[in-house]
């Protein structure tokens, strides 16, 4: 079976995240520079480089600001948040006898610390900003 090109992979993933459902989201697929930045984001994710993921995210944000479409940044956080870098599920916190708390997460595959950091960062950014930006995206459609 032939491996899917990174371009098709990114397009398919963006479509599963709903970019075709909004005018703003559709811009990701029609603006060549913006789409290429999402491909760069996938490459950074695949390299498991937190610094590279942040750098590309900043590049995307700057480009979106120049287009006066910062709300599309929601799809960056969505793209990373719902990936194999985030836990499949979190287990209940466990109070230890010494008063400390154990937090446990279950991942679908083995991850490096840097990959987990990317996933955690994406979760935090999506919860902080992404949900609100996504509301703006859908309100404009």
pLDDT tens per residue across all 141 residues of the chain: 567 899 999 999 999 999 999 999 999 999 999 999 999 999 999 999 999 999 999 999 999 999 999 999 999 999 998 887 777 778 888 999 999 998 887 878 888 899 989 999 999 999 999 889 989 998 877
Quote the radius of gyration of the chain (alpha carbons, Å): 17
The predicted structure's pLDDT at residue 84: 79
- State residue 87's pLDDT score: 74
Would you tell me how many other CB atoms lie within 10 Å of the CB of residue 41?
Answer: 22
Residue 9 CA to residue 35 CA, distance in Å, equals 12
Helix (H) or strand (E) holding 12: helix 6-16
pLDDT at 4: 85
CA 53/CA 37 separation, integer angstroms: 11
pTM of the model: 0.87
Nearest to 28 by CA among 44, 14, 42: 14
Asked if residue 125 lies in contact with residue 83, where contact means CB atoms within 8 angstroms, the answer is no
User: Where in the chain does DSSP place strands (E)?
Assistant: 89-95, 101-106
- Please name the residues in contact with 59: beta carbons below 8 A apart, sequence gap of 6 or more: 37, 40
Pick left, alpha or beta for residue 16 (phi over 0 → left; psi -120 to 50 → alpha; otherwise beta). alpha
- Which residue, among 121, 60, 57, 55, has the nearest Cα to 86 in the 3D structure? 121
Q: Residue 2 has what pLDDT?
A: 62
């Amino acid at each position: 079976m032939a491996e899917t090109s990174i371009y098709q992979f990114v397009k398919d993933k963006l479509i599963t995240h709903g970019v075709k459902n909004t005018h703003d989201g559709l811009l990701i697929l029609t603006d060549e520079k913006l789409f290429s930045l999402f491909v760069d984001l996938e490459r950074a994710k695949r390299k498991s480089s937190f610094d590279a993921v942040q750098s590309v995210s900043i590049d995307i944000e700057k480009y979106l600001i120049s287009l006066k479409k910062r709300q599309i940044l929601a799809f960056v956080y969505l793209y990373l948040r719902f990936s194999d870098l985030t836990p499949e599920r979190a287990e209940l916190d466990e109070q230890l006898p010494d008063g400390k708390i154990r937090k446990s997460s279950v991942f679908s595959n083995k991850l490096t610390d840097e990959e987990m950091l990317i996933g955690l960062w994406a979760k935090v950014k999506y919860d902080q900003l992404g949900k609100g930006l996504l509301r703006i995206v859908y309100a404009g459609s």
